[in-house]
Amino acid sequence: MWTSAKAPSLAEMEAMAHEVLARLPKTFRDLCEGVIIRVDDFPTEEVLDEMDAATEFDLLGLFHGVGLPHRSHEETARLPNMIWLYRRPILDYWAEHDEALGRIVRHVLIHEIGHHFGLSDDDMAAIEANAD
């Protein structure tokens, strides 16, 4: 089995992320309408600098845009919100942890959707801690 196993391609990981999104409750999916999900191997140098990341493996995902609570109905011509998943850092994390790849992709995607909803990293950490 392991002789034929391979890491998912960018397109396969993006399909995985869209499958995860499709399985979320309808109320969440409805709030994500118009959000674009993309997968790239690594964040750009600009993103790494902006996020003060030490290495290109530090970010598994990124939300880019204006969170729902911060939007104005009077805005015109704004870019759509985007969620980036970074394939190589996700695969690196997968290789170092005893967790299914699909579960990691799900966690990262839901985390970034949390930012779309206007939640901070601290908000999400508190929610996860209370869920345990």
CATH number of 10-64+80-131: 3.30.2010.20
Q: Which neighbouring-strand residues pair with 36?
A: 82
What's the pTM? 0.87
Mean pLDDT of the region 28-40: 91
Tell me which range, 6-15, 71-80, 112-121, is most confidently predicted by mean pLDDT. 6-15
Render pLDDT for 71-110 as a digit per residue (tens, 0 to 9).
666 666 577 899 999 999 999 999 999 999 999 999 999 9
Q: Which neighbouring-strand residues pair with 62?
A: 84
* Predicted pLDDT of residue 132: 54
Domain boundaries, the chain: 10-64+80-131
Q: Give which of 4, 17, 1, 3 is closest to 101, Cα–Cα.
A: 17
Residue 1 has pLDDT above 70, yes or no: no
